[in-house]
Structure 1
Amino acid sequence: MQRPSFLRLSGLASLLALLLSACSGNPDSGEVPNAAPPTGHYEGAISYQGSELRTALDLRETKSGQLTATLSFPQVPGLEFEAATANYQAPQLRLEEAPGQPGGIVVQAVREGDFLRGVVNWDSVRADFVWVRRGEAPAPGFLDTTLTVAVPGQPALRLRLLLPDDTLPRHPALVLLASATDGPAAARRATHLARRGIVTLLLPPSAADSGRVGYWGRGTVAPRVAEAAGQQPQPGFAVLEAAAAATHAEAAAYQVFNQQRIPVLAFYAGLDTTVQAAASARRLRPILGYRRGTQVQVLAGVTSDFRRPGRTGSDGQWQWPQPAPEYWNGLVEWLKAR
C-alpha cells in the first residue's frame, strides 16, 4: 500500500493552500479592557493533601484585551492545557479548560502586581495558589493563524491553522473535525501536536474537504469523518476517538476505511461513560481490516480526555492526574509515521 505523502510547508495540500490564499486577516479588536492584561510567564505550585505540583502559566495577548493561556505542570511532561476561555476583568482572571463540561480545570485568580493569587478547581480537587511573574511568556512553539475563507453561497468560515515553528522541510498534517461540544478537546490536541511537529487544522464537520492529510473525529463526529473519507479527495489516514460501534449498524459506517484502504488509529478510554468502549472496539477492529498501520486500542483506567485520574496513594499522599502516555505519545508517533 502506498503511504500518504507528507505535507511540505512550502506547498501544503490542496485545502491548506486554498485556505492560505484566502486569508483575509483578523477583524478589528473588540472593546478595550479597563486595564492591561497580566501577560507573561508565571511560576508557582498547587498543593493538595500534602502533595505539591509545580505549575507554569503562560499568558499572551493576541489582540487588544484578548488572551490565550497555557497551563503546564513541569513535573508531569505532557500534562498541559490551553484554556478554551481566558477572561480578564481587572483585577480578576478566569481560565477554563472546557466550559460547561465536567472534570475540566478552572483557574480563578486576582492580580496583585506581579503575583496571581487564587484557586484551581480540578475535578473534585480545590487548591489555593500564589504564582509569581518571571518574565515574558516564551514563544508557543507553533505559528497560530486564523484564516477567513469565503465560500460562494455560504457564510464565511474562520479556521484555525497551527504550523510547527521549526526548520523541518516537511510535516505530517491532521485536520480535526470537531463539534461545538468537542471544540476544547480538539484545540488541546491541535496545540499538543503542533508543538511536536504536526500541522493541525481545526474545522467544523460541515467543512471537511481536503487533500492528502488526515482527519480526526471524536464521539458523534466520528461517523462524519467516515462519511468524508468516502468522498474525493480522500484523507490519507484518520484518527477516531470514542467511535460508537457496539452494534452492527453503528460499525457499518466505518467500512469505508477498509474499502478505501485508509489506515485508522482508533482510541477508546476505559473510563469514558459516553460509549461502550470494549464492545465498540471488538466490533470495529474487523470492520477496519487488519492491514498495517490500522490500530484499535482500549486504554484502561483513563478518562475520556486520556488522563489517569488523581487519587490518594497508599502513603496518604495525593497522586496528581497524569496524561496517559499510551495515547499522547502513541498519537504523535503514529502520525509521524504516516
Structure 2
Amino acid sequence: MPVYRYPMPKGSEITPEKVFLNRRQFMAGATVLAAGASLPSTGYAQSIDDYEALNVAIKDSPYSTKDPANPFEDITTYNNFYEFGTGKGDPAANAGALTTEPWSIKVGGLVNNPSTIDINDILNSPELEERIYRLRCVEAWSMVIPWVGIPLANVLKKYDYQGDAKYVSFETLVRPEEMIGQRSAFGLDWPYVEGLRLDEAMHPLTILAVGVYGKQMPNQNGAPIRLVVPWKYGFKSIKSIVGINFVAQQPPTTWNLQAPSEYGFYSNVNPGVDHPRWSQKSEKIIGSGIFGSRRQTEQFNGYKEEVASLYEGMDLVKNY
C-alpha cells in the first residue's frame, strides 16, 4: 500500500471551485489589509492585458483542437502546481513571488555536446506556434488552453544524443524562498521530476510551451517554460523546467514515487483505467459552473489516431 504525505479528503469535504476561489481572494485581501504595506505583494495579474505579449509572429498549428478555448481567467486561477500550494487557487495566489528572469535549462546526460538553453532563444524563436490543446487532469477535470510553444523535438534534435539514450528526464526549479510549497515538511520530495520515452518526447504533438493566448506564460501556469504532452494526464506536463537529460533507463517521476499504485509512468489518458479513488470515464469542464458540465473522456485525450502506434502491443492497463 502507498504511503501518503497528504491527507486524502472525502468528496463531501471539497469546497466547490468558485466558492473556494472567492473565499481565497477575500482572505488574501483581508491579509494584506491586516499586515500593512510592509509585506511584498505576490498577487496575480487580473487580466490577459497585464501580461507581456510574445514579440514574434506566432503561427497557427494544424494540431489544434476544434474545441473553444477556456477564458483566460479560467486557465490562470484553477491550477495544479504544488510548489505553490496544494489548493487549486494557491498557485494564482502565491506564484507572483517567482523570479523568472534570467532563466536557463541545462541539457545533459547521454549527449556528446551538453549545454545550456537560454529561455530567450525560445521566446524569440520564429518556430513558435499556437496550439489549442486540452489539459486533462487525473482528478477528472479538463480545460482547453491556447498554448504557445515550440515542438520539443526541434530542441532535442540539436543535441548529439548517444545511442543508449531511450528516455528523456525533466526537472523543475527548486527555490523554496520563492516557492512556498517547497518549504513544507509534508510536501513532495523536491525537485519535481518527470520523464518521457524518447519516442514520446520526439513526437510532434509534444511541445515546450512558453505562453498562453499569445502572452508570456503566467507564473501559476508554469513560467517561464513547461512541457505540454496533450495525450497524457496534466501532471506529466512538468512546469518551470531547469533540467533536461537523456538517459538509458526509465527515469523516476514524482507522482509515481509518491503513490505508485495510482500514478504510472506512462499516464496516458484512458477512460478504461480508473483512478483507485474516482472514475476517469468522464471529466468536468472547468468554467462550467459549480456543478459543472461533463464530457466523456476520450482515449489518449482525443489523439488516438496520432499516438496509438507508440504503444502497439503494450498492455495499457498494466502500463497505466
Does the pair score TM above 0.5?
A: no
After TM superposition, the score normalised by the length of structure 2 is 0.25
> Which protein is richer in strand relative to its size?
1
> Which protein is richer in helix relative to its size?
2
Higher relative contact order (CA 8 A, sep 6+): 2
User: Looking at CA atoms only, which structure, 1 or 2, has the larger radius of gyration?
Assistant: 1
After TM superposition, the score normalised by the length of structure 1 is 0.24
